[in-house]
Amino acid sequence: MKIGFIGLGIMGKPMAKNLLKAGHEVVCFDVVAANVADVVASGAVAAKSSADVASQVPVVITMLPNSPHVKSVVLGKDGVLEGASEGLILIDMSSIAPLASQEVEKACSEKGVRMLDAPVSGGEPKAIDGSLAIMVGGEKALFEEMKDILLVMGASAVHCGPIGAGNTTKLANQVIVALNIAAVAEAFTLVRKAGVDPHLVFDAIKGGLAGSTVMNAKAPMMMDGNFKPGFKIDLHIKDLANAMDTAHSVGSPLPLTASVREMMETLHADGFGGDDHSALARFYAKVSGTTIGE
């Protein structure tokens, strides 16, 4: 199938490449020319704008940083809807506010464009190997129609409900991940301050109830002092802000989320917003005077 892909950052670039590897034709666009060139070198065709992408394909995938970017790319000048014909399918795989997904879908529907919101979890490593977890909102029939395409990029794709449900599910995911990372950083800082080798503690507890995908992925990074971003602190701040806004709108308090968001805001202020979210360990180093790594 000929598929449009808009947004070729840390996540979008490998996702587009996986579509190419699976035999799909990809027409791509990004505001960063080097990202476009990289995907074109793998076999994609470059477009001049988001509207140009939409004019050439039956399906457009967007993978963008936040709600304003999605609104601009889809609804704005030279956006997807300017180039779209009736019947186009838009799959927005960005992590944005659920209400923004609903707003964009309403505008799409008025032009005869069908839409799914389909945010992902797994970070850059899983984007590269095509094993992302994909959470989808929208019409069930449209989900079933697009499921095979989604499974090129992910190991799972689950229909979660009407439009916006995918992003609500992603917000829940991001709350759980953030709190888990903070707990790992807090516990391993305690271990280091108490004079116990965190590597041995990791080996001792990873097979028990404390073990998790989050700990398995992030504890080694903390112990190595390796905060190369798979998912940046600044992006997680954005997700937690969306989670809190959504929670406040439905009357669901998020006191733990608020605390971890403030830790991340501290890291941003200290110049670490571009680090991986495992850099929450830096916050504990700051307040404890002890690093987890050697």
Q: Active-site positions?
A: 170
Spatial CB neighbours of 186, under 8 Å, sequence gap ≥ 6? 284
SS3 for 294?
coil
DSSP state letter for 95: -
Q: What are phi and psi of 174, to 5 degrees?
A: -70, -35
Q: H helices of the chain, where?
A: 12-21, 33-41, 50-56, 67-75, 80-83, 98-110, 123-129, 140-153, 165-193, 198-205, 213-224, 233-250, 255-269, 280-288
SS3 for 121?
strand
DSSP state letter for 278: G
